[in-house]
Amino acid sequence: METLMDLGRKAFGICLIAIGIQQLVYGDFDPVFLPGAFASSPIYTFLAYPWGIAFTAAGVCILLNKKSYQVSLIMGGVFLLLFLFFQSPYLLFVDQYGNSLGTWTRALKGLAFAGGAFAVAGSYSDENIQLPSSIKWLEKLIPFAGAFFSTTMILFGIEHFLYAQFVATLVPIWIPGGQMFWTYFAGVALIGSGVCITLKIKLKLVAMLLGTMIFLWFIVLHIPRAVADPFGLRGNEMTSVFQSFGFSGVAFVLALLKKKS
């Protein structure tokens, strides 16, 4: 099980590295972390490069297990900060479509990244690592890792019902059972797993199943779409490949955290 835990951490680290490199290539913030509306500000592009470097470096640290506890805590705090003080206010008070759940998709991924980072940190929390007081308070957020990640899963599941016709188009037509069936099935699975993880009901089993499901999406859905269109919309499909890979890793980490989160 420790091997699976380590693989889950590494999957999340690889996800950060890949998305960080993408941000450096395009000289832009991933809209998951900062609304595109900020792009009109000159400082937006200027900060995109150091952000991409920091993002990539954090992924390398987690992948190589170098200061990964400290790095995961800091990244979890940063992701949560961006969700609470940039994405959420923008969607609530500025974006005219912010009352639609669909417009929250990217921001909710940012919340899932926060949960993932805190989950990775929680997997090291037994090691009694000394921290400076400036970041030690972030340890108090580790128990909420599952709730942050599961909130995204639950709301994504609801989206499968609200936008079923669109989601169905993402399901490969060669999969038996029909596109609508798998759309609703995945919606139920996401909502159910999110609720169970939040309430710690059969946590290990449910999180393992969730990680397996997301990993299957990574293989049968996201990789083929990225191969077909690797550079469209600034590599959006490639981003989805690594997000699904990283989120599957987070689910496996949550499955093995036991009482830590």
Supply the DSSP string of 157-179, one letter for each residue.
Answer: HHHHHHTHHHHHTTS-TTSTT-H
Residue 41 forms part of a structural domain = yes
Determine the structural domain holding residue 42 and report its residue range: 2-255
pLDDT of 127 reads: 63
How many independent structural domains does the chain possess?
1
Angle between helices 2-26 and 68-82 (to 10 degrees): 50
Phi-psi region of 41 (alpha: psi -120 to 50; beta: other; left: phi over 0): beta
Does 94 map to a domain? yes
The DSSP code for 152 is H
Q: List CB contacts of 50: < 8 A, sequence separation 6 or more.
A: none
Q: What is the pLDDT of residue 261?
A: 43
Question: Quick check: is 40 in a domain?
Answer: yes
Per-residue model confidence (pLDDT) at position 33: 92
Q: Which residue has the tokens 């995204």?
A: 152
DSSP state letter for 246:
H
The beta-carbon contacts of 135-139 under 8 Å, at least 24 apart in sequence, are 135/70, 135/73, 135/74, 135/77, 138/73, 138/74, 138/76, 138/77, 139/73
Domain-located, residue 193: yes
**Which residues of the chain carry a pLDDT beneath 50?**
260-261
Is position 260 within any domain?
Answer: no
pTM confidence score: 0.95
CB 260 within 8 A of CB 19: no
